[in-house]
Structure 1
Amino acid sequence: MASDAGSPQREPTPSSLPPMPSSIPQKRALEDVHSPAVSSPLNPEPKPQKPQVQIQDDTQVMGREKRTKKESLKKRESKGAPDSSRAKPDPKQKEPQGELAPIRYKLAHPKPTDFEVSRGPVFVSHHDVQDDEGRTIEFLETSDHVYNKKNFHYTHCIADPTFPSMFYYRNTEPPPFGAHMSFEDAASHMYFDRAGMHVTSDKGFRMCRANVAVREGRWYWECKVTRGILKKREEGDPESHGHVRVGFARREASLDAPVGFDAYSYGIRDVAGQKVHLSRPKDFFPPGEDIKEGDVIGLEIQLPSERLQRKIVSGQYNPAIDLADEESEQAPEAPNIIRDRIPIRFKAHIYFEKIDYHSTKELEELMNPSPMGSGHSSEAPNPNHPAPALRTLPNSCVKVYKNGVFMGTPWTDLLAFLPPASKQAQQTGGREALDDGTLGYYPAVSVFRGGAVEMNFGPNFWYPPSEDAEMTDGVDGPPRPEAGKLRAVSERYDEQIVEDIVYDIVDEVGFWMQDGGKVIDRSARDEKAAAPGSDEIKELVQDD
């Protein structure tokens, strides 16, 4: 067929093709197929197995740099991003190489009122009730204090001129002094007595935690049901005045749910004395044995040393060696506590705002197994589990007493809580590897529609533990004196105060050393920023 004279002539096929674009995957050379990934004496210099696929740099699009899309302020706030009005990290701060250090903030000088002694909440009488002994109990509504909220928790602080290198603020405690149920670490619509030792609610199940956490050793506390299932019923009386659950809860446990709702808490239910964990009630007390008004429930928890716990969560636990070392006498090992915190104002109070710990995917799957999960749920929690959140603590347990009578050990091998088993909320700027000193198991109580519980953290208990309790560890096997003496939770409050003082001093000295061993005024501001009436730190707005 003749070709048109005006049509272009086809170019001859070149004898050699140009090199293929690097963006197209290439076959791996034959000698790389069997190249071992790890060096060995027989293969001292293995060839690195690098894929030859080169992905185009997404920073360049069509020959120009790709623009970074910035999120709007509204979108950042919806994600829980830190408010830009908060104090900002000091740009001159240099974090020590090879170790973590607290984030340092540049703040203005404190106000004169910041040096005043911290005050507790304002109490307003809400209602009175009578217990089974005929006592009248006044429950009060608390106000003028901040509640812990999602991703954040709060502790009281005070300005102190002896801490200039940190930011002039340190931890403090308001009255009532001593171990008690925390007014800040409680769900809304919970009512307390003035000492924080009695709680109730007229709403559905909600929870509050104590102001102390246990991290190692053996600890005991007890509580009395003042409003709950009736012990003596007359004609026309209801079956109960409400319901209660008591137990232990970690920081991640939801306050808007009962104790035992998730993997972060262990609870005893008043109905049939059932044990509850992961929202799964299981029989524990003998049949027909309820927890009724007037009953006293004693709770003992045992946790191994923090040294052993750190080996477990870091994946270095060897039961053949470490358990034997646990029973031998060793000097305690100080934890590495890193506290990122910002002073916050709330109704004439000063608080430290800290990023709280959040639930992990592995424990959410443990509560609600999903067929599309990560696969960790197929292996039961154990000390050497691949997922740190699912590692358990050997020789840990919870024991329960009723009116001084030992009822049994509902739980052993409690879930680990030290990082990385616990992680701070990342979307709010948390650092998942940090232990800020607040982790541990807290005494916890939940109440339901009128149920009321009175706490006793010791040392004078209604039913003191027997002498035998000081020698047993709650785990199957013979008594072990090495398990440690059983101590009242009230003693833990004193230890916690000492720890806060030590951590404050450590932070102050650390920042002082960063400044070259001298005090530098890090709160200098320009005249505009120092204008009268300007806010030095963020004013927290929260429904009370």
Structure 2
Amino acid sequence: MKPGMEGAGDGAGKSASNKQDQKDEFTTCGYCGKGRNLNIVELQCSNCLQFHHESCISYQLGKLVPFLSNYVFTCRNCSNTGLEQFKKHQAQSSQMCVTALANLQQAALREDGRVLFSLTKDIVPWIEMHWEGMTTMARRTTQSWKQTIQRTLAKDSASLFRCEESAPDGSVAAGHPLYGLRHTNLAAIRPSYDQLKQRQADAVKSRGPKRKVLEQSAGSKKTRSEGAVQKLHGYPLDHPFNKDGYRYILTEPDPHAPFRQEFDESSESGGRPIPGWLHRAQCPSAVLLALHDRAQCLKISDDRLSVTGDKGYCMVRATHPVRRGAWYWEATISAQPDGAHCRIGWAGPLANLNAPLGYDKFGYSWRSRKGTVFHEARGRHLSAGYQQGDVLGILIQLPESAVPARLPDSYKDKPLIKSKSHLYFEEKDDVPGTLERLQPVPGACIGFYKNGKLQGQTFHNLYGSDYYPAVSVYRGITVSVNFGPNFKYSPKDVRWRPMSERAEEHAVQQAMADIAWLTEHEGKLRIDL
């Protein structure tokens, strides 16, 4: 089977024909559900075989052209990491010819409808113009590649290409010979995934078991267990941390942004800065401990529901904040060496990650040692301490009557930075300005529970802010968290919601914030191509 036109060759057999008919059922984008668009780049997933619009794909693909077949792509719905995977390979000469002729044919539909093209006037100039988008191979410094293209078109004329040596009346017109695709169904152009999988299987058999390789993660060597994090919850392992006064928010392309399709289709967009408003903040689908919003020395478990550290007090926040209402979560100490302690509670987005929770105005905590509660580095006794085996409940109440409703930040006016094939919004912390704006919220308070019993309500009239579940650990202690919806002990004295419900609610609010920002700036957004 020739590369690029999978199952399209003559005499492919009944089974191959049936297989191709089955694949041609995928006529819509696997993400947005809209129909295929042959005028833009579309990638086929190697697993589900659905095609996906480039504008719907989060992965930063680099410069591509439509009708490629020299790549491997896995969509986030099929990836065991929850992250898209993409790799472009060096194109064979036959693949370059198929891609060039397909694009020329598609462009001709808007003009004269030609299906045959001149080697010197059409095919070679198109390849020269789009070389980097077609292949990973460096541009050739000699002109011998043009003869290679001509030989390929002649060699594969029986299966992939057709050649018209002269005009229909037998005369040799200017520009002849002309070349075109033998099978003009452009929607059938796709990678030969079956052949690729067979080659990979043969390679594994020939070289024996694949050697395990330990990859390097940010700040430390990645163990086997840490590698499973990426396979479970879809946040990049190699990522920027919130530190040094800057915060980083993982993004994905916003298919609803104006000029999104024009930007993706433009051949002039390569290498240009991407406007932030073409992307949107990616909302985690579950409430977990954040990988990026933690001190770098802390270690997060595979399921992102426990944290441990072997140094002084350092903190990790959860992925989702709360601003209004009553919210509850639980924590337990899984391991507690001698001299190890922890603090649990709630933290604002600017609470210091490299300090104990409750060190500044942005955090409130309850310490395992002596049951002391802390805020602004001032402690006072609340209850007896807690230890391994105790189930700890943490409740925050932010009266809706006292806290105005507000959508989360859209971030679309923030700059985009690239880190390891992913784009992030970069936001600078404004600690002085935030401190000036802090105002107490009447009736806002925090309650702590041990094994189902209320230890007391404290920290009344909290400052108005977004609050994240937070844990700070000291000297090797391991703390596990439970964000719900099922808890071992549920408060009976107040109405509350489990933190797990914040994931869907926050995603809706984030979408509304993006729509509001785009509406406010309607008619003011431009891209220069």
TM-score, with normalisation over the residues of structure 1?
A: 0.50
Instruction: Find the counterpart in structure 1 of residue 483 from structure 2.
Output: 457
Q: 2:447 is paired with a residue of what secondary structure? A: strand
Q: Kindly state the Cα deviation for residue 256 of structure 1 after the two structures are TM-superposed.
A: 0.4
Instruction: Find the counterpart in structure 1 of residue 278 from structure 2.
Output: 168
Q: Kindly state the Cα deviation for residue 202 of structure 1 after the two structures are TM-superposed.
A: 1.1
Letter in structure 2 aligned against 1:291: Y
Instruction: Find the counterpart in structure 1 of residue 457 from structure 2.
Output: 409
Q: 2:320 is paired with a residue of what secondary structure? A: coil
Counterparts in 2 of 1:252 and 1:336: CA distance versus 1, 3 Å: closer
Q: Is the 8 A contact 1:245 1:269 kept in 2?
A: yes
Instruction: Find the counterpart in structure 2 of residue 159 from structure 1.
Output: 253
Instruction: Find the counterpart in structure 2 of residue 247 from structure 1.
Output: 345
Q: Kindly state the Cα deviation for residue 355 of structure 1 after the two structures are TM-superposed.
A: 2.5
Q: Distance in 2 between matches of 1:504 and 1:125?
A: 38
Q: Is the 8 A contact 1:145 1:184 kept in 2?
A: yes
Letter in structure 2 aligned against 1:502: M
Instruction: Find the counterpart in structure 1 of residue 521 from structure 2.
Output: 511
User: CA-to-partner distance for each residue in 1:23-64, whole Å, 9 max, x for gaps?
Assistant: xxxxxxxxxxxxxxxxxxxxxxxxxxxxxxxxxxxxxxxxxx
Counterparts in 2 of 1:453 and 1:487: CA distance versus 1, 3 Å: same
User: CA-to-partner distance for each residue in 1:399-423, whole Å, 9 max, x for gaps?
Assistant: 0100111111122111223xxxxxx
User: CA-to-partner distance for each residue in 1:340-379, whole Å, 9 max, x for gaps?
Assistant: 3222110112211122341469x6xxxxxxxxxxxxxxxx
Letter in structure 2 aligned against 1:458: G
Q: 2:286 is paired with a residue of what secondary structure? A: coil
Q: Distance in 2 between matches of 1:228 and 1:357?
A: 36
Instruction: Find the counterpart in structure 2 of residue 392 from structure 1.
Output: 440
Instruction: Find the counterpart in structure 1 of residue 293 from structure 2.
Output: 185
Instruction: Find the counterpart in structure 1 of residue 376 from structure 2.
Output: 278
Q: Distance in 1 between matches of 2:316 and 2:379?
A: 20
Counterparts in 2 of 1:161 and 1:491: CA distance versus 1, 3 Å: closer
Q: 1:465 is paired with a residue of what secondary structure? A: coil
Letter in structure 1 aligned against 2:423: I
Matched, 1:490 2:500: yes
Letter in structure 2 aligned against 1:159: P
Q: Distance in 2 between matches of 1:400 and 1:336?
A: 27
Q: Determine which structure has the larger helix proportion and give its number.
A: 2
Q: Is the 8 A contact 2:293 2:316 kept in 1?
A: yes
Q: Distance in 2 between matches of 1:247 and 1:281?
A: 14
Instruction: Find the counterpart in structure 1 of residue 474 from structure 2.
Output: 448
Counterparts in 2 of 1:355 and 1:292: CA distance versus 1, 3 Å: same
Matches within 5 A, 1:71-90: none
Aligned length: 298
Q: 2:506 is paired with a residue of what secondary structure? A: helix
Q: Distance in 2 between matches of 1:489 and 1:127?
A: 26
Q: Is the 8 A contact 2:314 2:354 kept in 1?
A: yes
Equivalent position to 2:363, from 265, 272, 277? 265
User: CA-to-partner distance for each residue in 1:218-273, whole Å, 9 max, x for gaps?
Assistant: 000110111226xxxxxxxxx44x21110111112100001111121111011111
Q: Is the 8 A contact 2:60 2:422 kept in 1?
A: no
Q: Distance in 1 between matches of 2:464 and 2:418?
A: 34
Letter in structure 1 aligned against 2:450: K
Q: Distance in 2 between matches of 1:161 and 1:494?
A: 20
Q: Distance in 2 between matches of 1:125 and 1:338?
A: 35
Q: Distance in 1 between matches of 2:402 and 2:505?
A: 20
Q: 2:350 is paired with a residue of what secondary structure? A: coil
Q: Kindly state the Cα deviation for residue 186 of structure 1 after the two structures are TM-superposed.
A: 0.4
Letter in structure 2 aligned against 1:249: A
Letter in structure 1 aligned against 2:477: G
Letter in structure 2 aligned against 1:178: A
Q: 2:223 is paired with a residue of what secondary structure? A: strand
Q: Is the 8 A contact 1:220 1:457 kept in 2?
A: yes
Equivalent position to 1:300, from 384, 387, 395? 395
Q: Percent identity?
A: 32
Q: Is the 8 A contact 1:251 1:357 kept in 2?
A: no
Letter in structure 1 aligned against 2:488: W
Letter in structure 2 aligned against 1:180: L
Q: Distance in 2 between matches of 1:195 and 1:182?
A: 11
Structure with higher RCO (Cα < 8 A, 6+ apart): 1
Q: Kindly state the Cα deviation for residue 457 of structure 1 after the two structures are TM-superposed.
A: 0.6
Q: Is the 8 A contact 1:251 1:356 kept in 2?
A: no
Q: Distance in 2 between matches of 1:296 and 1:125?
A: 29
Q: Is the 8 A contact 1:124 1:142 kept in 2?
A: no
Q: Distance in 2 between matches of 1:184 and 1:493?
A: 17
Gaps of 5+ in 2: 1-57, 64-72, 77-81, 85-215, 227-234, 260-275
Q: Kindly state the Cα deviation for residue 290 of structure 1 after the two structures are TM-superposed.
A: 2.1
Letter in structure 2 aligned against 1:408: G
Instruction: Find the counterpart in structure 2 of residue 144 from structure 1.
Output: 238
Instruction: Find the counterpart in structure 2 of residue 350 from structure 1.
Output: 423
CA RMSD of the aligned region, Å? 3.1
Q: Distance in 2 between matches of 1:205 and 1:142?
A: 25
Letter in structure 1 aligned against 2:507: I
Q: 1:112 is paired with a residue of what secondary structure? A: coil
Counterparts in 2 of 1:441 and 1:160: CA distance versus 1, 3 Å: closer
Counterparts in 2 of 1:336 and 1:222: CA distance versus 1, 3 Å: closer
Q: 1:497 is paired with a residue of what secondary structure? A: helix
Q: 1:271 is paired with a residue of what secondary structure? A: coil
Instruction: Find the counterpart in structure 2 of residue 220 from structure 1.
Output: 328
Q: Is the 8 A contact 2:320 2:506 kept in 1?
A: yes
Q: Kindly state the Cα deviation for residue 195 of structure 1 after the two structures are TM-superposed.
A: 1.9
Instruction: Find the counterpart in structure 1 of residue 83 from structure 2.
Output: 119
Q: Distance in 1 between matches of 2:430 and 2:60?
A: 31
Q: Kindly state the Cα deviation for residue 193 of structure 1 after the two structures are TM-superposed.
A: 1.0
Q: Kindly state the Cα deviation for residue 113 of structure 1 after the two structures are TM-superposed.
A: 5.7
Q: 1:490 is paired with a residue of what secondary structure? A: helix
Q: 1:412 is paired with a residue of what secondary structure? A: coil
